[in-house]
Structure 1
């Protein structure tokens, strides 16, 4: 890859090729719960400094953070009288960016229907506030299981990573790394961590994923294009246990869907704050029992600092690295939280990875294929053409699952398992 190509892929501000692709899709802007304590929250998204607020009618607004009058920070504003009021001179702006009042002026009147503040549409789905920063009307909101599940069966959270969004995304479309980066030398878990890579590899076996990944560390990886983006299959021939198939998805442009356990999945967006920082937004979706949201929130809050959701383990603390743990317990020596492992992997190459120095292998096929799709989308926008839009349907094309099939079975047997899991989900939840 050339340096110019890397720049095009990674820069996200207004007018940049990559930023213009990301702006054509709904993007997470904040957790809905961030508005619980105070109805005004500063947001930086795709390099734009914005402010999110809930007006006194309960409607959400997302507008530029600098007041159009004199440029002060509207995240210190007052929610009142149908909008957000600037503390400097009392100018009042609504969620459409119109100035409703200028109380210090002679007549106190606003500026009519002129939209003097940059404003973007937003909505709430699955515990996240979503925003559309692109031109024209927003695209169809994607049909994914994380949005179809009842509120009792999902949990959303986020975390800040000090790196460009692309290297954060690429760790999620690299199935081979799980056998190394997330390798555990024992199969007993600390109770405070989730089930991923600790649960049984599939409902048909008691073999933990830790052992399966450890003992069968050279998967065959297949990648295919889908209506949502890419499907990645990591296939491990597990001897007498059968064939393990792990299906993950890249949901274009900046999300992934991965299995967490036989009954839970994670859908995760990697959202640029700016060129050198990003948030991961994860929605945990249960296909069986309701999610213990308080427990999951407490687990994640313990690992970060508010209000930025910055991880306590970071480069300054060397990610909690312990050489003795690395020798005896984990491949990384960075604890049992796999999120920390991923954080190290994406932050340590630097804020923007130098891809001109990469030596890619066959296991990087998902990364290579995604980059091609993203380059195609950039060229489409530059040629005034459409980019791929989320397809209609029930989201089954984006299913993520672990399953163990009989030796010699068709690896596409995962489809039947995924369909059965989804058919049985949420049937006893009141409408």
Structure 2
């Protein structure tokens, strides 16, 4: 069962399932610069992503159909990507446009194609459909509805299987420990930082709430998009902290970053033992400060491959003095590093036969059941969850997520109303979901 849950290559049950969805294979930023050509590895396969002279973006198999050489070293010219070996030229749709070494009048190019994959650019991410048949529609989630001024995309490599990397994001209990800070910052200094600001309707820093109230009551509800996960921390008889997050089946989650911003984050498998987290940060208030957000993240990730500067080879920057008095892990103040250590230290592919799930792991168990059911559906020729048609996708909005202080009595009505107000007030006029 562990192999079934974690394998992503061609011919595996998990690979067949994930190929039914759009995969976030790159950032649009990666196609900037003088040579917009990038090798891409996704779901255990190798591709080359490029933008032609007319601005069209294409994704094709990395091996040239002629003799199998690496097209990631191709030349961008004459309306396509030209192989340096014999000059064969391929367009973004995979058509062979030219075979210049062949005799004059040759029609060979008309019978040759590189396999091309549908792509679309959404909110700073290049999504590709790597499966067979007609691609599904992407839902009208907030991260796709908001304009580029109010979204920001980034990514980072994690050296382990995609599922264990995803599972840390649907585990509400770990934040009180893994991301514990012993000192609280001024909330005004928390821009662009997870868990450093205050909750909606409160001046208490999230660092304080997580540190002082480490035993959340967790509720998990099935939804049409996956799971809604609610963590309730009782502050007093009158007040309860409500944190609502969502699993977007099969590979993403939506979590609150601050009172004004959310994070929609995918875990895109490179292969069975590596993945990228790829996130869209969405603001419901002021435009995103792109330069500041990018600069913050480049302090901990190195271009061009978005590799973490703190990693297993330098012990994640572990400092025992910091662990004694500043952070619970001693691995710096970037929570991505904390998560990276937690999931990579389980091994490249976690051995789930050795784990002992607890009551706080109910979302993890529920998601594994969803995955197994969806794999069976694909094997039986049925559409899996979230393989949407256009009409269903347009109707699927949100999903709502929030950190909020709420009355202990009536907390559910309170958080829904707060989330609806935030969405209704967004300058990009996202629809309010009164009955979500």
What's the counterpart of residue 174 of structure 2? 177
Q: What displacement does 1:397 show?
A: 4.8
Alignment partner of 1:107: what SS? Answer: coil
Q: In 1, are the aligned partners of 2:172 and 2:231 still within 8 Å (CA)?
A: yes
What's the counterpart of residue 30 of structure 1? 26
d(CA) in 2 for partners of 1:269, 1:112? 38
What's the counterpart of residue 246 of structure 1? 243
What's the counterpart of residue 403 of structure 2? 402
Q: What displacement does 1:116 show?
A: 2.6
- Pick which of 78-87 and 417-426 moved more: 78-87
- TM-score, normalising length: structure 1: 0.95
What's the counterpart of residue 434 of structure 2? none
Q: In 1, are the aligned partners of 2:26 and 2:125 still within 8 Å (CA)?
A: yes
Deviations 1:115-134 (A, max 9, x none): 63121010100011110001
Alignment partner of 1:341: what SS? Answer: helix
What's the counterpart of residue 367 of structure 1? 364
1:32/1:321 CA distance change after superposition, 3 Å: same
Whether 1:13 aligns to 2:9 is yes
What's the counterpart of residue 142 of structure 1? 139
What's the counterpart of residue 433 of structure 2? none
1:427/1:26 CA distance change after superposition, 3 Å: closer
- Equivalent of 2:348, from 348, 351, 355? 351
d(CA) in 1 for partners of 2:136, 2:199? 37
d(CA) in 1 for partners of 2:9, 2:341? 25
1:7/1:189 CA distance change after superposition, 3 Å: farther
Q: Any gaps of 5 or more consecutive residues in structure 2?
A: 431-436
- TM-score, normalising length: structure 2: 0.94
What's the counterpart of residue 267 of structure 1? 264
Q: What displacement does 1:396 show?
A: 4.2
Deviations 1:279-329 (A, max 9, x none): 000111110111110111111112122211110000111111111111111
1:189/1:205 CA distance change after superposition, 3 Å: closer
Q: In 2, are the aligned partners of 1:241 and 1:406 still within 8 Å (CA)?
A: yes
Q: In 2, are the aligned partners of 1:193 and 1:336 still within 8 Å (CA)?
A: no
Whether 1:392 aligns to 2:393 is yes
Alignment partner of 1:58: what SS? Answer: coil
Deviations 1:32-53 (A, max 9, x none): 0111112211100111110001
1:240/1:312 CA distance change after superposition, 3 Å: same
1:108/1:63 CA distance change after superposition, 3 Å: farther
- Equivalent of 1:151, from 123, 148, 153? 148
d(CA) in 2 for partners of 1:56, 1:241? 62
1:195/1:310 CA distance change after superposition, 3 Å: closer
1:402/1:395 CA distance change after superposition, 3 Å: farther
What's the counterpart of residue 289 of structure 1? 286
Q: How does 1:32-431 map to 2 (within 5 A)?
A: 32-37=28-33, 38-107=35-104, 109=106, 111=108, 114=111, 116-188=113-185, 194-202=192-200, 204-239=201-236, 242-388=239-385, 389-390=387-388, 391-393=392-394, 395-426=396-427
d(CA) in 1 for partners of 2:118, 2:348? 30
Q: What displacement does 1:413 show?
A: 2.6
d(CA) in 2 for partners of 1:275, 1:84? 29
Q: What displacement does 1:400 show?
A: 1.3
Q: In 2, are the aligned partners of 1:101 and 1:108 still within 8 Å (CA)?
A: no
d(CA) in 2 for partners of 1:113, 1:68? 13
d(CA) in 2 for partners of 1:353, 1:108? 57
Q: In 1, are the aligned partners of 2:423 and 2:429 still within 8 Å (CA)?
A: no
Q: In 2, are the aligned partners of 1:103 and 1:109 still within 8 Å (CA)?
A: no
Aligned pairs, how many? 424
Alignment partner of 2:363: what SS? Answer: helix
Q: What displacement does 1:113 show?
A: 5.0
Q: What displacement does 1:192 show?
A: 8.3
Q: Any gaps of 5 or more consecutive residues in structure 1?
A: none
d(CA) in 2 for partners of 1:287, 1:304? 26
Q: In 1, are the aligned partners of 2:99 and 2:109 still within 8 Å (CA)?
A: no
- Pick which of 146-155 and 394-403 moved more: 394-403
d(CA) in 2 for partners of 1:366, 1:29? 26
